Amino acid sequence: MAHPSLPLQRLRSLLAGERPLAVLLPQARRINALNRVFARAVPPGVARVCRLVALQGDTAVVFCAHGAAAARLRSQTRSLAAALSAAGEPVRVVMVKVRADWAAPERAEKAGMAPAALAAWAELQAALPEGALKNAVARLLRHQRRD
């Protein structure tokens, strides 16, 4: 999961040059702190695809990237409201919204195997007798060579 303070760092740098917008920084810090509480109060899979985006009175608004996470979160709204309230915010209601268009960080692309590693796997495959292991190594090589 991306570190929760990274969006706040970007926000600080944006606000540095815009004095009228600097009043947003305390609210951004508050929401960031609540997102840390949120991430500890829900399962990791839900925390990766959902973010607390606003507090409207005693209502916390949470955006989820898809319906499955939203459904899971809706079943936990009471415990989540209690966790947020224990963190010092008077939250009685958690409003969950599906927002597939919100800016969730993209997953980093995994680096493939180095050419030397691929060559070593190919050498191993050639040396293996016919069977399940040789087939598995062949699948691994096909997967790694896809571009």
| Pairing mode of beta strands 59-64, 93-98 | parallel
Distance CA 128, CA 15 (A): 60
Q: Which of 91, 43, 92, 93 is nearest to 68 (CA)?
A: 43
Q: Residue 100: which pLDDT band, with cuts at 50, 70 and 90?
A: confident
Q: Residue 109: which pLDDT band, with cuts at 50, 70 and 90?
A: confident
115-127 and 132-145 helices cross at what angle (nearest 10)?
160
Query: Has residue 2 got a pLDDT over 80?
Result: no
CATH of domain 6-98: 3.30.300.180
Q: What is the pLDDT of residues 129-146, one digit of tens each?
A: 999 999 999 999 998 887
The average pLDDT across 13-27 equals 69
Q: Which two tokens stand for residue 137?
A: 């190594």
Cβ neighbours of residue 61 under 8 Å, at least 6 residues apart? Answer: 52, 53, 54, 55, 95, 97
Return the pLDDT at 57.
87
Q: What is the pLDDT of residues 30-61, one digit of tens each?
A: 888 889 999 999 999 888 889 998 888 889 99
Cβ neighbours of residue 110 under 8 Å, at least 6 residues apart? Answer: none
Query: Has residue 62 got a pLDDT over 80?
Result: yes
The average pLDDT across 106-129 equals 87
Using a pLDDT cut of 90, give the percent of the chain over it. Answer: 35
- CA angle, corner 36, sides to 106 and 99, nearest 5? 45
Return the pLDDT at 1.
44
